[in-house]
Chain A
C-alpha cells in the first residue's frame, strides 16, 4: 500500500479518537461545573491544558469559563484540535484513502462529519450540550463498529489501530499528568490525601467511573486509580492496554512485511516499562517524571511509525 495511504488511515483514526476524548473531557468538566464540586473556572483551565491547546486558547480568550471553553473545544476553526476541526480533517483523510476503506467505514465517517458539521454550526446551548457530546461519542462508536465489522485484518487495519492507540495513550497520560500537577505541586504529597472529586473527574474523563468500582477491589484512592489507568490491562484506555495494542499491531505489520521496524523496538521498550510493575514503584520513580517520559516516548514512537512506513515523501 502507499505510504501516504498508511498515513491517511493513521491520522484519520487519531482524529476520531481525539474527538471522542475531547467530548469526554468536556463532559467531565461540565459535570464539575454543574455540581459546583470545586472552582469551575480552574477546572475548565485544566481541561484546556489536558487538551494541549493552552497557547491557542489564551491567544483567543482572557478568561476560562464554561461557554468559552466548550465553544473553543467543540467548534473553533482556529483550534486545530476542536471536534469540528479534527472531524473535518479525519473526513478529508478518509477521502484521501477512500480506496483503502470499506464502504461501511467511509459512509460512517462521512455521515459523522455531516451530522457534526450540522450540530456544531452554531454555538451549542448548555441545554443541548449533553446530547451533542453523546452524539460525538456515539458516532465515534459507529465508525469503530464499521472498522471492526468490515475491514480485512491486514496492514490497512493495523495503521487505523495504531492511530487510535497512539492518540489514546497520549490522551490518558495527559489526563493523569494534568491532574497530578493541579493537585499536587510537590511530589512529597503523592499518595497521601486525595480529593475524591478530582479523582472522580479523572475517571469520568476516561469513562471509567463505574468500571473502576467493578474492577478494583480497593479504595477510591490515588494509588488505586493511578494503577487502574496506567497498569491495568483490562481497562481499554489504560497506558498498558494501549501499549499492548500498539505492540500487537506493529508485530502484525512486521510479520506481514517480513521485517521488524524500529517502531516495534520502541513500542516494546515502552511496554516493558509498564509490564510487571506495581504502582508503588512508579510513585517512587515520580509519577510526573514517569508520565513525562511516557508522553515523550509516545510522541517519538509516532514519529518513528511515520518514518518507518513512509507516510511522507
Chain B
C-alpha cells in the first residue's frame, strides 16, 4: 500500500490562499453559486451556437463535442510566468538549432550527445530536409510546450509539441468568454493580454516568408478539412489572421510557386501555415495516397519558393525518445543549463530499463514514443490488473515503441461544481512563435484540466476540460 500523495494546490496552501488567487478568492466568496451555475450553462450554449467544437475520431453519434470549459481561472504570478517563459524560449531556440544541426552538419551526433540511431532510424526524420535550410532558418514557427507543476517552484516539461500543436484557439476563446461573463474580474485583477496572438502569428509567418517574395507575403492556413478534429481551430485562426483557409485541392504548383484557386484564377502564395501532417503534405514525396496535400510542394519548398510552417521533419525533435535528451540538447546549443526540467524518463528499448518498467508498471505512466492525444497510453495507478498485464504484453512485444515516466503528483486548481470548488489536476501549454526576429510567447496558454476526481489525464479526447489561464502583471 502506498500513501495517497499530497498534491500541490495552486490556489490554497496551509489553509491560506496563495497570493495570485487572493483577489479571485475574495470575489468568489461573494458569488451566488446558482448564478455561477447559470453562467456556466450560458457559456456552454454560447460554445455550441458558435460551433467551438472538436471532432472525436471513431464516435459517429457524437460527431462534434464541446471541450468542457471551467469558469475558475488558472492564475500565475508575473514572476512564476517569467521563469516559465524564459525556459520555454530557451527550449524553443534549442529545438530550432537542433533541427538545423541534424539536417546539416550533425555536430550533436558526432559529439555523441544524442545517439545516431535515435535520429537515423526515426520515422519523423525526413531525408528530404538534409542539406536544406528553410527560409529564415526557422523550423518550428509554432511550438506548444506541455508543462506540469508539482510544487511551488517545480515545473517540468512533459512534452514539446513541435509539429502542429493545437489548442491556441481555446486559449483565445476562453479569455473572450471570461471577459463576457465576468468583466468585473478583469477590473480587479490586472491580467496580461493574450488577444494579440493572431496578429503576432501573422506577423511571425510573414516574417518567415521566402527571401524572393516581393510585396506583402500571402499567407494561408492549410487544413485537412471540416472533418478534422481541430477544424474549428483552423478556421478560427485563418479568420482571426484575415487569411484564406485552404485545402490541398485548392492548391497547385504554377510556374514554380504554390498557387491557390480563386474565383479569378490562380494566385501565388508565399507562406503555408499547414495543419496537415508531414506524411500527407506531398503525395509525390511522401504518402502517395494522400489527398490532403499538394503534389510537388516539396520541390517548390526545396527551391526556396514557399515557406511551410512548421517545416517538414520537425517531428524528430518532439519525439518522446529524443525528449529524454532535451537537457543535453539545450546545453549543447545554448551553452546554458536548461531552465525547465524534464520528467525522469525510462527508455523501454534498453533491456535493464524494460525490466524495471515491467516490474513497476503499476506506479508508472507508459506512453507510445510517437503517440499523442492521450491515445494508447497507460496510467499505471489507475489501471486494472488485466489492463496492466495486457499492456505488459504490448510492451514486451515492442519495447522500443514505449517510454515510461513516474506518475507525477500534478498540481491542482479548483474547478466549479454544484457543491462549490473542488481540486482537479491541470497541465499548461504555452504557445511560442518563432520568426527570424526571435521568439514571442503569449502570456498564458492553454490550461487543460482533468474533470474526474483524482484523474491525471487532461487530454480533451479523453474527457478533459480547459480553463482560462491568467498571467498577472506585477
- Which A residues lie at the B interface, using CB under 8 A? 1-6, 92, 95-96, 98-99, 103, 106-107, 110-111, 114, 155, 257, 309-310, 313
**Chain B residue with the shortest CB-CB distance to A8:** B226
Within 8 Å by CB of B264, from A92, A99, A107, A257, lies: A257
Interface centre among A4, A6, A99 (most CB of B within 10 A): A99
Within 8 Å by CB of A1, from B51, B225, B238, B262, lies: B262
Quick check: B261 and A2 within 8 Å, CB to CB?
yes
Quick check: A107 and B50 within 8 Å, CB to CB?
yes
Quick check: B226 and A99 within 8 Å, CB to CB?
no
Quick check: B250 and A114 within 8 Å, CB to CB?
no
Bits for B427-440, please: 1 = Cβ < 8 Å to A, else 0: 00000000000000
Q: How far is the CA of A155 from the CA of B264 in the complex (A)?
A: 11
Quick check: A110 and B250 within 8 Å, CB to CB?
no
Known pairs A98-B51, A99-B235 / 8 extra A-B pairs, C-beta < 8 Å: A3-B263, A4-B247, A95-B51, A98-B239, A99-B245, A106-B50, A106-B51, A310-B263
Shortest Cβ gap from A12 to chain B (Å): 12
Q: Does B86 contact A (CB under 8 A)?
A: no
Q: A4-B247, A4-B250, A92-B226 are in contact. Are A310 and B262 (CB under 8 A)?
A: yes
Quick check: A310 and B265 within 8 Å, CB to CB?
yes
Q: Does B110 contact A (CB under 8 A)?
A: no
Quick check: B49 and A107 within 8 Å, CB to CB?
yes
Q: A1-B262, A1-B263, A3-B261 are in contact. Are A99 and B50 (CB under 8 A)?
A: no
Q: How far is the CA of A111 from the CA of B47 in the complex (A)?
A: 11
Quick check: A95 and B265 within 8 Å, CB to CB?
no
Within 8 Å by CB of A4, from B50, B239, B252, B261, lies: B261
Residues of A within 8 Å of B247, CB to CB, are 4
Within 8 Å by CB of B244, from A2, A96, A103, lies: A2
Within 8 Å by CB of B238, from A99, A106, A107, lies: A99
Q: Does B191 contact A (CB under 8 A)?
A: no
Interface centre among B246, B250, B260, B263 (most CB of A within 10 A): B263
Q: List 22 A-B contacts (CB under 8 A).
A: A1-B262, A2-B244, A2-B246, A2-B263, A3-B263, A4-B246, A4-B247, A4-B249, A95-B51, A95-B235, A98-B51, A98-B239, A99-B238, A99-B244, A103-B50, A110-B50, A114-B48, A114-B49, A309-B263, A313-B250, A313-B252, A313-B261
Residues of A within 8 Å of B239, CB to CB, are 98-99
Shortest Cβ gap from A277 to chain B (Å): 33
Quick check: B263 and A155 within 8 Å, CB to CB?
yes
Q: How far is the CA of A218 from the CA of B468 in the complex (A)?
A: 66
Q: How many residues of B contact A (CB 8 A)?
A: 23
7 pairs of A and B residues whose beta carbons are closest in the complex:
A98-B235, A309-B263, A99-B239, A3-B261, A95-B226, A313-B249, A6-B263
Q: Does B231 contact A (CB under 8 A)?
A: yes
Residues of A within 8 Å of B250, CB to CB, are 2-4, 313
Shortest Cβ gap from B176 to chain A (Å): 12
Residues of B within 8 Å of A95, CB to CB, are 51, 226, 231, 235
Residues of B within 8 Å of A5, CB to CB, are 244
Quick check: A111 and B263 within 8 Å, CB to CB?
no
Q: How far is the CA of A253 from the CA of B49 in the complex (A)?
A: 32
Q: How far is the CA of A278 from the CA of B107 in the complex (A)?
A: 86
Shortest Cβ gap from A188 to chain B (Å): 48
Q: A3-B250, A96-B226, A99-B235 are in contact. Are A110 and B49 (CB under 8 A)?
A: yes
Residues of A within 8 Å of B235, CB to CB, are 95, 98-99
Residues of B within 8 Å of A310, CB to CB, are 261-263, 265
Q: How far is the CA of A4 from the CA of B260 in the complex (A)?
A: 10
**Chain B residue with the shortest CB-CB distance to A96:** B226
Shortest Cβ gap from B247 to chain A (Å): 7
Shortest Cβ gap from A192 to chain B (Å): 49
Q: How far is the CA of A92 from the CA of B48 in the complex (A)?
A: 15
Q: How far is the CA of A103 from the CA of B250 in the complex (A)?
A: 24
Shortest Cβ gap from A183 to chain B (Å): 43
Residues of A within 8 Å of B262, CB to CB, are 1-3, 310
Shortest Cβ gap from A89 to chain B (Å): 11
Shortest Cβ gap from A101 to chain B (Å): 9
Shortest Cβ gap from A10 to chain B (Å): 11
Residues of B within 8 Å of A96, CB to CB, are 225-226
Q: How far is the CA of A110 from the CA of B50 in the complex (A)?
A: 7
Residues of A within 8 Å of B261, CB to CB, are 2-4, 310, 313
Q: How far is the CA of A43 from the CA of B247 in the complex (A)?
A: 45
Q: How far is the CA of A6 from the CA of B245 in the complex (A)?
A: 13
Q: How far is the CA of A3 from the CA of B262 in the complex (A)?
A: 5
Interface residues in B38-78 (C-beta closer than 8 Å to A): 48-51
Shortest Cβ gap from B2 to chain A (Å): 47
Q: A92-B226, A95-B226, A99-B238 are in contact. Are A110 and B264 (CB under 8 A)?
A: no
Residues of A within 8 Å of B263, CB to CB, are 1-3, 6, 155, 257, 309-310
Q: How far is the CA of A103 from the CA of B235 in the complex (A)?
A: 12
Q: How far is the CA of A2 from the CA of B246 in the complex (A)?
A: 8
**Chain B residue with the shortest CB-CB distance to A158:** B263
Q: How far is the CA of A95 from the CA of B260 in the complex (A)?
A: 19
Quick check: B51 and A2 within 8 Å, CB to CB?
no
Residues of B within 8 Å of A98, CB to CB, are 51, 235, 239, 245
Residues of B within 8 Å of A92, CB to CB, are 226
**Chain A residue with the shortest CB-CB distance to B223:** A96
Q: How far is the CA of A257 from the CA of B262 in the complex (A)?
A: 12
Q: How far is the CA of A92 from the CA of B225 in the complex (A)?
A: 10
Q: How far is the CA of A111 from the CA of B45 in the complex (A)?
A: 10
Shortest Cβ gap from A102 to chain B (Å): 10
